Amino acid sequence: MTKVLHTARYTGLPLEILQKACPDGFIVKTLDEATQEQLVKEVADADYFLVSGRLPIDKAVLDHAPKLKMIQRTGVGTEMLDLEEIRKRGIPVYVNAGVNARSVAEHTLTLMLAALKRLPQINVQTHSGVWKKQQQGVTTHELYGKTVGLIGMGNIGRLVAAMLQPFGAKVLYTDVFRQKEEVEANLGLTYCDSFEALLPQCDILSFHCPLTKENTEMLNKQTLAMMKEKGIVVNTARGKLINPDDLYEALKSGHVKAAALDTHYEEPVKENYKLAELDNVVLTPHIGGLSYEAFASMMQEAMNNIHAFEEGRLEEIEPKRLK
């Protein structure tokens, strides 16, 4: 049997979905423990890596994987991959570009609305029997007429922009690549040539870019100070795009009105996570791209790629391969 090693730990329904996607003639093994030591122990007879989670695929892992033919990501992030070491060995890497973009975009819009409508706070109050209709209602805000700044205009960014159109929001964006004029016109986009130029204009700032060395902690004390007073920060991209201590201080001071975060600087978050202390912060556990539909598609497409690679026909289905 051809072994696919899943480099994280799934149980319950996620594991059932993964196993169901496994093609005939293959066996998929998930880790008994999500530790680096367990990963190194399991790689010796692995033909393929199905990479999810945050365990590093580094030299120590690769040195123990003599049979490895290909690495397939369940999603698109590659920060857990030592790409230089992988390239040295000539091991191809494929990602699942766009497979969960709609799920992330919907979650982004949900977080925007949750922050504007103060849903977590009002939900708790209502569950507790607090009924202050007018007093609670006038603390909420509409998305209509707000200026939303999108950092990154890839698959997810374009879907978020499209979803914002019926709400009557003005959408600004910045990206290393500018969209074509017809795309900007169709989505109602206004381009900003820098992150700093976009910040003072936004009621809502939303991140949709990959994490790089250059943009790590791009939202920090200095750039937070450039934000429009009482703005909202939304992040469904990568947690390390934001300095959490600086964001905490901006929220405490009231300069930033609220934050809604699906991704976090450290995952899973620790017990002393300062942002969790604040009632103007909405937190979810990096689930934006993991709706049932998106998760099932991610597993199926990843396994389809591995199956096609094994049969020598992967390029026929035009997967996204990293250079």
For 276-288, the DSSP string reads GG-TTEEE--S-T
Record the tokens describing residue 137, joined without a space.
Answer: 């209602």
Catalytic site residue 89?
no
Catalytic site residue 238?
yes
CA distance linking residue 194 with residue 191, whole number of Å: 9
Listed residue (288, 247, 286, 252) closest to 267, CA to CA:
286
Instruction: Indicate the burial class of 162 (C-beta count within 10 angstroms; 0-12, 13-18, 19 or more).
Output: middle
Instruction: Name the DSSP class of 111.
Output: H
Record the tokens describing residue 128, joined without a space.
Answer: 């507790």
Residue carrying the six token digits 């609305």: 113
152 touches 237 (CB < 8 A)? yes
Q: Assign residue 90 a region: left if phi > 0, alpha if psi is -120 to 50, beta otherwise?
A: left
CA distance linking residue 256 with residue 205, whole number of Å: 10
Record the tokens describing residue 201, joined without a space.
Answer: 């204009």
Record the tokens describing residue 162, joined without a space.
Answer: 């499209």
Rg for the chain (alpha carbons), in Å? 21
Residue from 85, 217, 249, 267 carrying the catalytic annotation = 267
How many residues in the chain?
A: 323
Catalytic site residue 286?
yes
Residue from 54, 64, 178, 286 carrying the catalytic annotation = 286
Q: Count the Cβ atoms, other than its own, within 10 Å of residue 86.
A: 21
Listed residue (164, 238, 253, 252) closest to 202, CA to CA:
164
Residue from 238, 264, 307, 310 carrying the catalytic annotation = 238
CA distance linking residue 144 with residue 116, whole number of Å: 11
Q: Give residue 263's Cα distance to chain centre.
A: 6
Catalytically active residues are: 238, 267, 286
